[in-house]
Amino acid sequence: MSRTNAFGDLSSMLAPTSVAIIGASDTPTRIGGRSIGYMLQRPFEGRIYPVNPQRSTVQGLAAYPSINALPEAPDVAIVALPASLVPDTLDDLAAKGTRSAVVFSSGFAEVGPDGAALQELIAARAKVAGMQLLGPNTLGLINTRRNFWGTFSSSIEAGWPEIGTIGIASQSGAYGAHMLSLAVARGLGLSAFVTTGNEAGITATDAIGWMAEDDNTNVIIAYLEGIKDGERLIKALETARAARKPVIVMKAGRSALGGEAAQSHTASLAGNDAVVDAILRDCGALRIHNTQAALDFAEAAVKRIYPVGNTLGVLTVSGGAGILIADDAEQLGVPMPALPEQTQSELKGLLSFAATRNPVDCTAQAFNQIELIGDFGTKLVETGGYKSLLIFLSHAGGHRSTVPALRGQLQRIREASPDCLAALSVIAPPEIVTMYQEDGFLVYDDPARAVSAIAAMGRLGEAFSSRPQPASPNLLPGRAFSATPNEAECKAIFADAGITVPTEVIVTTADDAVDAAEQIGFPVVMKIVSPDILHKTEIGGVLTLVSDAEQARSGFATLMERARFARPEARIDGVLVAQRIDKGVECLMGVQRDPVFGPMAVFGLGGIFVEVLQDVVLRRCPFDEATAMGMIRSIRGLPLLTGARGQQSVDLDALAQMLSRLSWLAIDLGPDLRSIDINPVIATAAGAWAADGVIEVTTSALQDGRKAE
Amino acid sequence: MSRTNAFGDLSSMLAPTSVAIIGASDTPTRIGGRSIGYMLQRPFEGRIYPVNPQRSTVQGLAAYPSINALPEAPDVAIVALPASLVPDTLDDLAAKGTRSAVVFSSGFAEVGPDGAALQELIAARAKVAGMQLLGPNTLGLINTRRNFWGTFSSSIEAGWPEIGTIGIASQSGAYGAHMLSLAVARGLGLSAFVTTGNEAGITATDAIGWMAEDDNTNVIIAYLEGIKDGERLIKALETARAARKPVIVMKAGRSALGGEAAQSHTASLAGNDAVVDAILRDCGALRIHNTQAALDFAEAAVKRIYPVGNTLGVLTVSGGAGILIADDAEQLGVPMPALPEQTQSELKGLLSFAATRNPVDCTAQAFNQIELIGDFGTKLVETGGYKSLLIFLSHAGGHRSTVPALRGQLQRIREASPDCLAALSVIAPPEIVTMYQEDGFLVYDDPARAVSAIAAMGRLGEAFSSRPQPASPNLLPGRAFSATPNEAECKAIFADAGITVPTEVIVTTADDAVDAAEQIGFPVVMKIVSPDILHKTEIGGVLTLVSDAEQARSGFATLMERARFARPEARIDGVLVAQRIDKGVECLMGVQRDPVFGPMAVFGLGGIFVEVLQDVVLRRCPFDEATAMGMIRSIRGLPLLTGARGQQSVDLDALAQMLSRLSWLAIDLGPDLRSIDINPVIATAAGAWAADGVIEVTTSALQDGRKAE
């Protein structure tokens, strides 16, 4: 494992040459004893130093009375002492020259405010000493290649993890051990296992990032609860993506959508979980919701075959299974194109009642004529051009009587398609499953699991091949906020950012309103303008169809009167007379600052699509126009933009351009930006206009004027 | 097993006292030999008669040269001969007095037209002889209690099914055997296994219905492909529901939505699979999409605990697992109410840093103080009132060292809550899993599977307790169709059925149009009326806002001119002048005759909700108003009806009444009804109106006049 890793110096923790256990126990089932017991059973390659002032030996090893008495500074120290002793212990370790501490001890932030204070103390001491800290309240970590068992998890009692290329990073010790146990039970090979506990030092993000750079890890399973370090998580995920390493994420807390009710309209669109979902998707991570799927996908990913433009060829011995597989594949978006006609007639020649389109069914006849499996399978892979292959054999793939002959047929198919992602659906004893796995097949008992895994590998293939390109910023000229900008000021900012706004003029008299309307051309829209009235429609402050001079004159009076009546204290800047964009589709775009991930852009169709159907898409700012187009095309209501119900398609390019520019504006407006709300955006066949907008900034920004980032 | 079963006489097939195998083989791995071999290894309780003219013994049993030579008429005969010999064999069996035949032979409808003809022949001969026929091309059937192994499935090589209460009914032999193999692998107990193959006689529906009435079967797993006998399937499912027996259905072909493009608008809303989905849901069946879920649910259902008003209490040794479980429960709609404050403080008293709300986390401390598990668990079940319970122990529930003490604690919890549906999430060796199962727990490795099963049992509880009451029909007066009825005729039929329509008059002159509009009151709607113009808007045949007498006069001329221009050959009955229902929400209701299940009603919101979002709900006609209300409340766009965006809620009762009446009208109009389309229905706070409607009937009905059912 590399020591040049950018994500925390986990190297010294995960690949130490020497380890001290502070609070070492002679009893191998105690917290201070398990790690030593494991490292004696599966001998650790380095030196083990138990520290215990009461004993001269611990589990047969020479014990040391104190840290100071150790013959060398250990690469890593495991601390298994009561919480109150941990601060001084860290000092002693630092004085000795130890650079890494794994604190098993509990009794910190998880028990209340006193514990939280103690945790802050040890975090501070570790920082001052330049010491890497894992925990406190961590279940520890494992490096299978070096037999470094720095954990007190009893899960290992049920079986030793095998060496492999899957890394597990978990905030929760117990859930991490749960995933570890299930991985061990199915014989998956692991590189590293890291649980981060209270995360006073190293976080699960660090562990993901470190594994992304670790040569022995090719697949990462992560369990996350809270995410505090958004930038670092994105960097870790992007590092993994660049290395073509899948990150399979279980994120707990998707039901806790609550949180603060924010003032801006778009705020209600995105609970934190939706933000996390968007971030993970954008970074190419696979989010899943149960451990079986996590392990199914990890097991498949170990092969490192990530199809781009995934297609699935299916061979079965049962028509019914083929239909179910086709159902699943369609639902998961994996195409199953038909075999060429020529191949189909050749297959019919081999077996007149076979189904030959795809799924191909060589029927139970294959068990009377076993070479049919190989004949059908090789023709399927040689002429179908499929990126993935699934062969359904069910229990017939597991009978000791038929397996030897069957295996030969399956090997023929593998030889004809070495680059294909190939899976079997068989019910078989473990040793037969292992045999098929050695031949290069993924093996699942049920075909539904196989299709899910194949679909997931295809999604990874797309994620790895389509890393978004950063766009160039707009480099806006500076602009000072005198206060929360009014609509006209917002639109001026939009216009500077390249966001199209309707032609419009602010007027302060009825005469000017008539003049402005006549210059713009009837019909026009008229709105009250006030920094104190964010949601104008609520007070009747918008007239959407002003058709002539007389209406413009009376409209001015009406708006002023309504504003004075509804909000007597409001500062009125005047009335906006604006070009009316006709026959468009109303959309909304916005930006909301997420406390963890920064400005998140949101796009949706107006009205019921957002308010009733929550049909919105989120993405972290900034992003380019192609990405914006992808967002727009992902909403369920897309047909309304592309010409449903006999309408003309709107100018999607203009919408995508506006959305991308908005995402850059959010960056340009700096860290004090709270939210931007463009509602409605009116999209027509001729373009897209920001017909209304609100920009909110934090109070400090109002005092300091506009800040550049 | 009862012989009074209403669904085909499967009793003689599944519980025979004697069985003949026609085409018996001495080789126990051949199709004609397997069944005999199995019945010798697990001795069949009755008499076995091999028939083979070439041999005096078969697998050690005395063989008979012909059917005629048998010493008695066997209760069931298994036919394992080439297809061409089957017809005469059935005749011989009938002559001997045998009433049931299981035809293993293939080479019938599955191989082409000649085979289909042969299949029709044997079906006809069996019918004439009054013989029950299973197959042809069936894998056969099993009755575990009587050791009747009437199958040639090799899946039994991998393990014998245990005796239990789960029945499997499958159209596909191979997929049925796949499910059987997985059930055997996890030790589930079976009552009966029936595969129906080409279904020339007994269908999977018959098998479901028979199992619904079978005393030894409590849970039914069904695999279905095509469904031909809609009425019978519904009767079978309702029989199972009345007996509180879940039917867990895998239905293949959900991706094949294509089918004929029907003329009526609502036809495109529902592919066949959506109809199947609606039927299964309405009949209380659980539709699932993979075998693991089928078996997880069946295993849970064996307990026959079906919570009504399901709630879930959760005890964990890991905070993370508790969050994941809460996420899953929320997604599946299982509430997790908090424990009473009093209990929570008692639990805090036991362990200060425990989480006590629900999920309750007694942390890994429980393994130092094992009685915490029992203390926490009993308080949880005694004071929380939960219908279901999930305890997450992960690998710690599987260590041989801790299991004895742990088991005692878990038994305390079971004793405190014998009626609770209780599940464990543990990773343990099979013998420990069995031990927990014997103590009354469902056991799953991963908590996500446990939550899914618990949610499914709750859905069954609701289905079993809420069987819909049939409403009384409207008993419409007879009405003859002179032709496909025009809009005015349709509305008269609607009005007779109690469906509210706007006040309206058909006129044939411009003067009459003005008079009618003045009587109704402006504004009015005007439409062309012609039996040859079903979709009036396509030719501009609707004027939606006619405001005064002048517009009414010119509108009449406009409509007549447009109709003559667009459809010169159309018969024009006149112009409809109608009350304009203002400010309503547009909905649509319709009925479409499904070839299998008969008239299916559909409801949705108008416009994009149907056309873009496919937000519709289907149900078989007829149904009562409460059911109609449930349908209306199930659509995603419901907030538009209940007052989203500051609007008044519409009169949902009026909508539900109309929808129920429409469903009865569909029945009253008899078997020649093809479709009814009410589009739009305009719903307001004051009521609901059928503003336009089309009724289509088959040609024969046009010739014969209206038929009563």
pLDDT above 70: percentage of residues in chain A: 92
Share of chain A residues as helix, strand and coil, in percent rounded to the nearest 5 = 40, 20, 40
What count of other Cβ atoms lies within 10 Å of the Cβ of residue B232? 18
Mutate to test the interface with B, among A446, A586, A638, A679 (most CBs of B within 10 A): A446
Q: For position A703, what pLDDT does the model report? A: 46
Is B448 in contact with A321 (Cβ distance < 8 A)?
Answer: no
- Cα distances from A182 to residues A97, A247, A293, B393, in angstroms, run 38, 18, 11, 13
B111 vs A contacts (CB less than 8 Å): 352-353
Is B182 in contact with A445 (Cβ distance < 8 A)?
Answer: yes
What residue of A is the nearest CA neighbor of B402? A154
Q: What is the distance in angstroms between the Cα of B345 and the nearest Cα belonging to chain A?
A: 15
What integer best gives the mean pLDDT of chain A? 89
**pLDDT at B180 > cutoff 90:** yes
Take residue B510 and report the two structure tokens written for it. Answer: 């411009």
The DSSP-derived string for A493-541 is HHHHTT-----EEEESSHHHHHHHHHHH-SSEEEEEE-TT-S-GGGGT-
Work out whether strand B47-51 and strand A219-224 pair parallel, antiparallel, or are unpaired: unpaired
Work out whether strand A286-287 and strand A360-361 pair parallel, antiparallel, or are unpaired: unpaired
Q: For position A482, what pLDDT does the model report? A: 56
Q: For position A266, what pLDDT does the model report? A: 37
| Mean pLDDT score, A221-226 | 91
Q: For position B609, what pLDDT does the model report? A: 74
Locus of tokens 């025009």:
B486
A155 vs B contacts (CB less than 8 Å): 394-396
**Please, is B397 exposed, middle or buried when counting C-beta atoms within 10 Å of its C-beta (0-12, 13-18, 19+)?**
buried
Cα angle B337, B343, B344; round to 5: 75
Which regions of A87-230 does DSSP assign to beta strands (E)?
100-103, 132-134, 140-143, 148-151, 162-170, 189-195, 219-224
Model's pTM, two decimal places? 0.89
| Mean pLDDT score, A28-57 | 96
B291 vs A contacts (CB less than 8 Å): 446, 448
A542-546, A633-637, B261-265: which has the minimum mean pLDDT?
B261-265
A104 vs B contacts (CB less than 8 Å): none
Q: What is the distance in angstroms between the Cα of B398 and the nearest Cα belonging to chain A?
A: 8
What one-character DSSP code corresponds to residue A364? G
Contact A248, A294 (CB under 8 A): yes
Mutate to test the interface with A, among B170, B289, B394, B614 (most CBs of A within 10 A): B394
Q: What is the distance in angstroms between the Cα of B71 and the nearest Cα belonging to chain A?
A: 34
| Mean pLDDT score, B204-209 | 95
What residue of B is the nearest CA neighbor of A330? B255
Take residue A468 and report the two structure tokens written for it. Answer: 């978004």
**pLDDT at B260 > cutoff 60:** no
Q: A227-286 pLDDT, tens per residue?
A: 888 899 999 999 999 999 999 999 987 764 323 322 233 333 344 788 888 999 999 999
Q: Give the best-scoring range by mean pLDDT among A398-402, A654-658, B321-325.
A: A654-658
Q: For position A534, what pLDDT does the model report? A: 75
Q: How far apart are CA A326 and CA B611, in angstroms?
A: 26
Q: A512-555 pLDDT, tens per residue?
A: 999 999 999 999 999 999 888 877 888 889 998 899 999 999 99
Q: How far apart are CA A568 and CA B23, in angstroms?
A: 99
Q: B20-34 pLDDT, tens per residue?
A: 999 999 999 999 999
Q: A588-611 pLDDT, tens per residue?
A: 999 999 888 999 999 999 877 777
What one-character DSSP code corresponds to residue A639? G
Q: B221-255 pLDDT, tens per residue?
A: 999 988 888 899 999 999 999 999 999 999 987 76
Contact B219, B248 (CB under 8 A): yes
- Cα distances from B260 to residues A311, B173, B497, B666, in angstroms, run 28, 29, 30, 21
pLDDT band at residue B264 under the 50/70/90 scheme: very low
Residue B193 in contact with partner chain A when CB distance is under 8 A? no
What one-character DSSP code corresponds to residue A444? E
Is B290 in contact with A171 (Cβ distance < 8 A)?
Answer: no
**pLDDT at B310 > cutoff 70:** yes
Q: How far apart are CA A306 and CA B74, in angstroms?
A: 58
Q: How far apart are CA B687 and CA B55, in angstroms?
A: 81
ipTM over 0.85: yes
Q: How far apart are CA A617 and CA A639, in angstroms?
A: 15
- Cα distances from B322 to residues A98, A253, A273, A277, B41, in angstroms, run 37, 10, 17, 20, 48
Q: How far apart are CA B253 and CA B522, in angstroms?
A: 52
Contact B554, B562 (CB under 8 A): no
Q: A54-103 pLDDT, tens per residue?
A: 999 999 999 999 999 999 999 999 999 999 999 999 999 999 999 999 99
Q: Which residues contact A368 (CB under 8 A, 6 or more apart)?
A: none
Q: For position A225, what pLDDT does the model report? A: 86
Give the residue ranges of DSSP H helices in B214-366. 230-242, 272-282, 291-301, 319-331, 341-350
Q: Could you give the angle at which helices B625-633 and B652-668 cross, rounded to 10 degrees?
A: 120
Locus of tokens 């009167």:
A561
- Cα distances from A180 to residues A14, A194, A260, in angstroms, run 17, 10, 36
B637 vs A contacts (CB less than 8 Å): 608, 612-613
- Between these two residues, A271 and A496, which has the higher pLDDT value? A496
What residue of A is the nearest CA neighbor of B223? A320
Which residue among B291, B326, B427 places its CB closest to the CB of A182? B427
Q: For position B595, what pLDDT does the model report? A: 86
**pLDDT at B280 > cutoff 90:** yes
pLDDT band at residue B402 under the 50/70/90 scheme: confident
Beta-bridge mates of residue B355:
B361
Residues 213-272 of chain B whose Cβ lies under 8 A from any Cβ of chain A: 223, 225, 250, 252-255
Q: Which residues contact B469 (CB under 8 A, 6 or more apart)?
A: B624, B626
Nearest in space to B15 (alpha carbons), one of B230, B217, B161: B217
pLDDT band at residue B613 under the 50/70/90 scheme: confident
| Mean pLDDT score, B559-586 | 89
Q: For position A320, what pLDDT does the model report? A: 86
Take residue B225 and report the two structure tokens written for it. Answer: 């492909």
Contact B443, B430 (CB under 8 A): no
| Mean pLDDT score, B168-179 | 95
Beta-bridge mates of residue A695:
A676
Which regions of A175-266 does DSSP assign to beta strands (E)?
189-195, 219-224, 247-251
| Mean pLDDT score, B296-306 | 97
Q: For position B151, what pLDDT does the model report? A: 97
Q: B340-378 pLDDT, tens per residue?
A: 999 999 999 999 889 999 999 998 888 889 999 999 999
Q: Would you call B117 helix, strand, or coil by DSSP?
A: helix
**pLDDT at A702 > cutoff 70:** no
Helices (H) and strands (E) in chain B, counts: 22, 29
Contact B222, B209 (CB under 8 A): no
What count of other Cβ atoms lies within 10 Å of the Cβ of residue A322? 27
Q: How far apart are CA B476 and CA B480, in angstroms?
A: 12
Work out whether strand B504-507 and strand B524-529 pair parallel, antiparallel, or are unpaired: unpaired
| Mean pLDDT score, A694-698 | 86
- Cα distances from A601 to residues A268, A620, A622, A636, B679, in angstroms, run 13, 6, 8, 18, 38
What count of other Cβ atoms lies within 10 Å of the Cβ of residue A69? 12
Q: How far apart are CA B226 and CA B668, in angstroms?
A: 28
**pLDDT at B257 > cutoff 50:** no
Work out whether strand A421-426 and strand A442-444 pair parallel, antiparallel, or are unpaired: parallel
Cα angle A365, A371, A375; round to 5: 100
Take residue B352 and report the two structure tokens written for it. Answer: 């200060």
Q: B72-95 pLDDT, tens per residue?
A: 999 999 999 999 999 999 999 999
What one-character DSSP code corresponds to residue B64? B
Nearest in space to A484 (alpha carbons), one of A534, A448, A437: A534
> Any idea how long chain A is?
709
Torsion angle (degrees, nearest 10) of CA B697, B703, B706, B709: -80
| Mean pLDDT score, A487-516 | 91
pLDDT above 90: percentage of residues in chain A: 73
Q: Which residues contact B633 (CB under 8 A, 6 or more apart)?
A: B652
A401 vs B contacts (CB less than 8 Å): 29, 157
